[in-house]
Structure 1
Amino acid sequence: MMATVRVEAVIGVPAQRVWEAIADVGAVHRRLLPGRVADARMEDDVRILTMPDGSEIRELIVSVDHGDRRLAYAVIRGQKLPLTYHHATFQVFGEAEGSRLVWLTDVLPHAMAASVRARTERGILEIKNVIESAEADEAPAET
């Protein structure tokens, strides 16, 4: 049986602004996880992430759905965990005080779910902090 890991965060930034950062698939190293991802580049539909240690992870970008604010991707090579299957989605929803980012990850083997959960829980908090900091940096100064 496949495990699904769900993590989410409320982000104090409008949903469209969060979606713009998520949908910018070639800029994950700048807009979502600077420090955790050293570089990112696109080759057709494949995103190649270079990690700080020089290792690479290849992700197939399955879908970027602007209407539903949903990104789907699958790790196809370079996963550091011993996974046989990894497919994930990000989806952004509007909230009264900003937005909600939901990150779902399907993994095999099932026994790896706890490791994946720990990584995604850390990752979504980093993403939240980066997006909120970027928004604060762009806000006009109060006079």
Structure 2
Amino acid sequence: MASIHNDIPLPAAANDVWDAVRDFGALHERLVPGFVTACTRDGDARIVTFANGSVAREVLVDCDDARRRLVYAISNERLKHYSAAVQVIADGERRCRLVWTIDMLPNELAAYVQEQTKDAVTALHEAFPAAAA
């Protein structure tokens, strides 16, 4: 099983970033605008349209406010297994880390998903820019 790990420092308060992460249906507006172009809720899932045109149905597995941790899964004809966890960890009052881990099969798709996460990280930094000095 392939595992993709992203540990992303952000110049924002952990509660602010967590508020955007936990807003499961607003991915395209609050967390990764531009990388995700549309997101609509469908019960306990969200239908996500990415900038490259691909679409995924992501099912909410868990949203833990106390641990600032959200887990979602994708199941489709291409992915045998896909589970992702996003956790926001405070690093002082005005900084945090967003730890995003994806476990997936088949391994052959890992390189594609890793490239996609690079674009998502860029969008995250644009959504949470450093405060002006």
TM superposition score category, shorter chain reference: 0.7 to 0.9
Letter in 1 for 2:34: G
Q: Secondary structure of the equivalent of 1:30?
A: helix
Mark the structure with the bigger radius of gyration. 1
State the AA in 2 paired with 1:132.
P
Correspondence for 2:118: 121
The separation in 1 between residues aligned to 2:23 and 2:42, in whole angstroms, is 14
Q: Provide the rounded CA distance (Å) in 1 between the counterparts of 2:101 and 2:62.
A: 14
The CA distance in 2 between the partners of 1:55 and 1:115, in whole Å, is 12
After superposition, where does 1:6-21 map in structure 2 within 5 Å?
6-21=5-20
* Greater helix fraction, Structure 1 or Structure 2: 1
Match of 1:111 among 105, 108, 113: 108
Kept in 2, the 8 Å contact 1:73–1:89? The answer is yes
Name the residue aligned to 1:36: 35
Which whole-Å CA distance do the structure 2 matches of 1:84 and 1:57 have between them?
14
Amino acid corresponding to residue 9 of structure 2 in structure 1: V
Q: Which residue of 2 aligns with 1:130?
A: 127
Q: Give the equivalent residue in structure 2 for 1:102.
A: 99
Distance 1:109 1:123 in 2: 21
Identity of aligned residues (%): 36
State the secondary structure of the residue aligned to 1:26.
Answer: coil
Normalised by the length of structure 2, the TM-score is 0.86
**TM-score normalised to the size of structure 1?**
0.81
